Amino acid sequence: MPIFKALTIAGSDSGGGAGIQADLKTFQELGVYGMSAITAVTAQNTLGVQGVYPMSVEAIERQLASIGEDLSPDAIKTGMLFNGEIIQVVAASIHKFKWNHVVVDPVMIAKGGASLLLQEAIDTMIRVLLPLASVVTPNIPEAEVLSGMRITDEGSRMQAAKRIHQYGCKHVMIKGGHDEGDAEQATDLLYDGETFTSFTSRRLTTRHTHGTGCTFAASITSGLAQGLSMQESLKLAKRFIQAAISDPLDIGGGHGPTNHWAYQRRQRENMDRAAENAMLLHERTPSAKEEVTNEVHFEIRGGR
């Protein structure tokens, strides 16, 4: 049985809700062996970020070399990169080790408002890192920065996706969590250079959303590491994050973390229901058996 491996290149969150902690939890829950290269250490909790301490370029380069020389990740995720020098060394390592399936989460601002990417590093990200991305996953504020335009409706979001795609990335996924125009649904928009695809889910109202962006991108990375297509990986990510947000962990006094255990628990519950339905097969007519069989398959796929 193959062992799928994923690497997260991001900051450490002492509160455990975002950053490499969220990424590694996601990898583990989705059956992927997780590795990490720490770009910065942050002092933070659910109330906000109290300190940001970037690692030296030498330390980051050595971490990436140690992984690249031995462990060969199947997919890469980048998160908090903080400054232009770090972005340069990450891009150089991607080139050097010929890493594929690169998911760029362009982390700029923490949930509490702290800056996690220096202003002068944005141009470096656009020029150096985005051309290497299999997919870039900005939220609406991040997409506005990358595209240099305001996003006010679906049309402007599509235009922003086109602008970002011109930087050389293969796919652009602009997340819809910050779009308050629809109180019932949250719609993520994928652009592959030719076609737009929408991924819609029920909007969940909760203050416990710390680490959602990291977790979503790490879910995509997990799918790509296992050989799933981009579309399949995005569908997996939507299911995973929907479960994580709908059953949050009520800890801390601020923006609590999402629940990385929720997806697998929901899967187990679906399997239990499928098993119960299967038990009824022997008591049904042939036509009813077919109906129950379809129900079992539906539940095993995650009830979607």
Annotated active-site residue 209? The verdict is yes
* Alpha carbons 49 and 38: distance in angstroms, whole number: 17
Q: How far is Cα of residue 260 from the mean position of the Cα atoms in its chain? A: 12
**In terms of Cα–Cα distance, which of 99, 101, 104, 63 is closest to 87?**
104
46, 78, 187, 212: the active-site residue: 212
Q: Which of 68, 84, 213, 223 is catalytic?
A: 213
Cα distance between residue 147 and residue 172, in whole Å: 11
Let me know if 48 is a catalytic residue.
Answer: no
Report yes or no: 299 and 270 within 8 Å, Cβ to Cβ.
Answer: yes
Does residue 212 have an active-site annotation?
yes
60 vs 65: CA distance, rounded Å:
9
Task: Find the helix or strand (DSSP H, E) in which 269 lies.
Answer: helix 262-279
Q: Which of 177, 211, 223, 256 is catalytic?
A: 211
Give strand pairing partners of 289.
Answer: none
Structure-token match 């891009």, residue found: 91
Selecting among 11, 46, 79, 214, the annotated active-site residue is 214
Nearest to 104 by CA among 72, 144, 76: 76
The answer to whether residues 174 and 157 touch, using CB atoms and an 8 Å cutoff, is yes
* Amino acid occupying residue 87: I
d(CA 198, CA 259): 25
The strand pairing partners of 190, in sequence order, are 173, 197
Does the active-site annotation cover 187? no
User: Is 214 an active-site residue?
Assistant: yes
Q: Which of 25, 77, 175, 235 is catalytic?
A: 175
Active site residues: 175, 209, 211-214
